[in-house]
Structure 1
Amino acid sequence: MNRRAILFHGTGAHPDVLWLPWLRRRLTERGYSVEAPHYPGLNTEPVATFLPKVLANHTFDAGTVLVGHSGGAALLLAVLEKIDSKVDQAILVAGYCTRPNTADEPVLQEQYDWEAIRAHVRDLYFINSREDPYGCDDTQGRAMFERLGGTQIVRDDGHFGDIDQEYASFELLDRLID
């Protein structure tokens, strides 16, 4: 089976920051075809108009692994709800399903079809920190885990990369991806 990974950066970021280039290299070395798109409209454009563009740019199937950080992780909920196939894995790093702070979050939907999301992924991981400065914390991870199952991993590791938190590699992700 053709193994493909699609890596989604966070709000205001791009594919060449934090651990994303490192993970891209690691997965490529392991034989994955890796896509790491740049979506400057992520979490600035309403998800209702942004999501169709994302869905049109990618193919999703049983060999696909999805990884998202922060706003990119929140985007994965909408992606998983709307695709018409089942992907292998989805890993949401510092993800959230409700407003984590007082900022606008156009990437979030008003509500989710949790059964559809669960039906479109074989294995789900939620990696959150108890000390996330943006509120993308373990309570957000727990909220998604309680609705979707999967595995919740809680760390004390900030936002898993940020302007003031260098995070050049992320060994845990490499181990989690089949």
Structure 2
Amino acid sequence: MERRAIIFHGTGANPDICWYPWLAGRLAARGYAVEVPHYPGINVEPIATFLPKMLNGHRFDEDTVLVGHSGGAALLLALLQHVDVTVAQAILVAGYCTPPNTKEEPVLQQGYDWATIRSHVRDIYFINSRKDPYGCDDRQGRVMFERLGGTQVVRDDGHFGDYNQPYERFELLDRLIP
């Protein structure tokens, strides 16, 4: 089986910023087929219309690793609820499942089927910061961890990459993905 990794960028971002290219290169060097798609519609288009297009644009199987950052991490919750297979691993970086601030969050569903999400991923990680400027903080990670289990990692690293926070490497992610 071919190991596959898909890295989903955050709201208003693109595949060429932060640690996305670095992680893609590290995983490719280890034999992963890596996708870092550009989805300008993440957290802009309502999840109900965005999700089917995204699900149809990728292949998911038991060897797939999913990594999402910010809005891309929130997207993973809907993806895991609606995908028809159990993926190997999901890592939600600065993820959230409820509105983290006062902005619109079209990437969020009204509610989540936590048992279905859990049944569609073998190994799940939540990496959040106590000092996230957007509210995608350790409390958000804790809410997801309490519903899904897995592993929660709490740091003091802001948003793990942002327009004003260079974050070109993310060694922890490289170590978490087998």
Query: Residue 146 of structure 2 aligns to a residue in which SS?
Result: helix
Superposed displacement of residue 159, structure 1: 0.1
Rounded Cα–Cα distance in structure 2 between residues aligned with 1:109 and 1:28: 32
State the partner residue of 1:6. 6
Superposed displacement of residue 100, structure 1: 0.1
Query: Residue 145 of structure 2 aligns to a residue in which SS?
Result: helix
State the partner residue of 1:54. 54
State the partner residue of 2:82. 82
- Superposed, 1:93-108 pairs within 5 Å as 93-108=93-108
Which sections of structure 1, spanning at least 5 residues, go unmatched? none
Which sections of structure 2, spanning at least 5 residues, go unmatched? none
State the partner residue of 2:140. 140
Rounded Cα–Cα distance in structure 2 between residues aligned with 1:14 and 1:116: 29
Query: Residue 22 of structure 2 aligns to a residue in which SS?
Result: helix
Superimposed CA distance per residue, residues 50-86 of structure 1 (whole angstroms, 9 cap, x where no aligned partner): 0000000011111100000000000000000000100
Superposed displacement of residue 176, structure 1: 0.1
TM-score (norm 2): 1.00
Superposed displacement of residue 134, structure 1: 0.1
Q: Which amino acid aligns with 2:155?
A: R
Q: Which amino acid aligns with 2:24?
A: R
Superimposed CA distance per residue, residues 30-49 of structure 1 (whole angstroms, 9 cap, x where no aligned partner): 00000110000110000000
Q: Which amino acid aligns with 1:129?
A: S
Rounded Cα–Cα distance in structure 2 between residues aligned with 1:68 and 1:111: 19
State the partner residue of 2:27. 27
State the partner residue of 1:18. 18
Rounded Cα–Cα distance in structure 2 between residues aligned with 1:30 and 1:64: 14
State the partner residue of 2:162. 162
Query: Residue 41 of structure 1 aligns to a residue in which SS?
Result: coil
Rounded Cα–Cα distance in structure 1 between residues aligned with 2:24 and 2:148: 27
Q: Which amino acid aligns with 2:112?
A: Y
Matched, 1:131 2:131: yes
Rounded Cα–Cα distance in structure 2 between residues aligned with 1:41 and 1:62: 26
Rounded Cα–Cα distance in structure 1 between residues aligned with 2:15 and 2:115: 30
Rounded Cα–Cα distance in structure 1 between residues aligned with 2:15 and 2:53: 17
State the partner residue of 2:121. 121
C-alpha RMSD over aligned residues: 0.3
Rounded Cα–Cα distance in structure 1 between residues aligned with 2:133 and 2:169: 20
Superimposed CA distance per residue, residues 144-172 of structure 1 (whole angstroms, 9 cap, x where no aligned partner): 00000000000000000001100000000
TM-score (norm 1): 1.00
Rounded Cα–Cα distance in structure 1 between residues aligned with 2:61 and 2:86: 6
How many residue pairs match? The answer is: 178
Rounded Cα–Cα distance in structure 1 between residues aligned with 2:132 and 2:168: 18
Rounded Cα–Cα distance in structure 2 between residues aligned with 1:138 and 1:127: 8
